[in-house]
Amino acid sequence: MITVVGTGRVGSTLASQLAAEELDDITLIDIVKGLPQGEALDISHMATQYAADVELVGSNDYEAMAGSDLVIVVAGLARRPDMTRMDLLNKNTSIIKQVSEQIKQHAPNSKVMMITNPMDVMTYVALKATGFPANRVFGMGGMLDSSRYRNLLAKMLGVSYASVHGMVIGEHGESMTPLASRTSVNGIPLKELLDQDKMKEAVEKTRKIAAEVIALKGATFYAPAQGVVKMVESIVRDKKCVYPVCTYLTGQYGVSDVCIGVPVVLGKNGVERVIEVILEGVEKESFLKGVQSIKAAVSSIQI
C-alpha cells in the first residue's frame, strides 16, 4: 500500500496519476475534514475509467497508514510567488516532524519519500525524526528540475524531449546543478550542439523556471507529481532506475551529514546505491554551494 500524506493540489494530482498507473492501493491522509475522503472517491471513479483495479481510501487519521510500504509526504505549506523554497523552512519543519513521528508509530517498516519544500532539508528532518535507515528516507531530488532542464534544451535544439538526456543534481533550490557537461542528445554531447553561452543560458533558465510557473498559476503540481510516479514505479516494480534523488550522504562527493540530490539506483529497498560522478569547475562549485545552503538551513532549526 502507498500512503500520500497531504491531499492538496500536488497530493491529489499525484494520487490520481498513481491510480492510473495501477501501482498499488492508495491511502490518502489529510487534516482537513472530508478532503481526503472526497479525493479518494473522485480518484476511484477515475480509476474505473482506466480499468485500474486499485483501492483508494481517504482518512483524517494517521492510523490509516498502517501496513504501508511507501509513505509519500506532501504535507505542509506551499510556496507562494513571493517566497523562495527556504522561506518555507520554519513553517514546514514542525509539520514534517509531526508527520514523521506518526509514520514512525504507524508505518515503522515503510519507506518515506519527501516532496514538501524545502525538500532537501525536510528529507533530513524526516530522516532524523523517524530514525529509519538512510536508504528508506529520501526526497524527490532532481526529478522535477531534470524534466524542466530537458524541456528547455529540447526547445532550444528543436528536437524531441525523448532525445535529450540530462540530469540536475544538488540542492532543489537556487543552487541546483544541471550537469551540462554530461548532457547529450541521443549520445551526442551537448557541447557539440550548443555553444557555451547557450549552455549557460539553459542552466540559468532551469534555475528560474519554477518561480515563473508559480508567478503565473500560483503552484506547480503536474510535473512534480509525474516525477514522483516515475520514482514510485522504480521502487514498486524494482526497476532499479538511476534517478537524481535526495539522499543522505556519508562521504560521497566529499561531504557528509547532508541530504541532497545525487544519482542513485532506486529499487524495492529504496536508495540501493549512490552513484558518484566526478564534478569539476562550475558544477562542483554549484553543488558545494547547495551543500552549504542546506547545512546552514539545518543548523538553524530544531529537530
Phi then psi for residue 57, to 5 deg, are -130, 135
| Percent of the chain residues topping a pLDDT of 70 | 97
Structural domain spans, the chain? 2-139
**Does residue 172 have an active-site annotation?**
yes
Q: Which of 229, 265, 262, 228 is nearest to 247 (CA)?
A: 262
> 63 falls in which pLDDT band (50, 70, 90)?
very high
Specify the DSSP element, H or E, that contains 34.
none
107-160 residue pLDDT tens: 999 999 999 999 999 999 999 999 999 999 999 989 999 999 999 999 999 999
275-302 residue pLDDT tens: 999 998 999 999 999 999 999 999 988 8
Inform me whether the pLDDT recorded for 84 exceeds 70.
Answer: no
CA distance 164 to 144: 15
Q: What is the predicted pLDDT for the residue at 79?
A: 65
Residue in 45, 106, 165, 172 annotated catalytic: 172
What value does the mean pLDDT take over residues 207-236? 90
Q: What is the predicted pLDDT for the residue at 225?
A: 93
- Give all strands of the β-sheet with 184-185 in edge-to-edge order: 164-165, 184-185, 188-189
Q: What is the predicted pLDDT for the residue at 109?
A: 97
Q: Which of 146, 193, 138 is nearest to 169 (CA)?
A: 146
Mean pLDDT of the chain: 94
Q: What is the predicted pLDDT for the residue at 3?
A: 98
> 250 falls in which pLDDT band (50, 70, 90)?
very high
CA distance 171 to 84: 13
Provide the CATH topology of domain 2-139.
Rossmann fold (3.40.50)
Inform me whether the pLDDT recorded for 176 exceeds 90.
Answer: yes
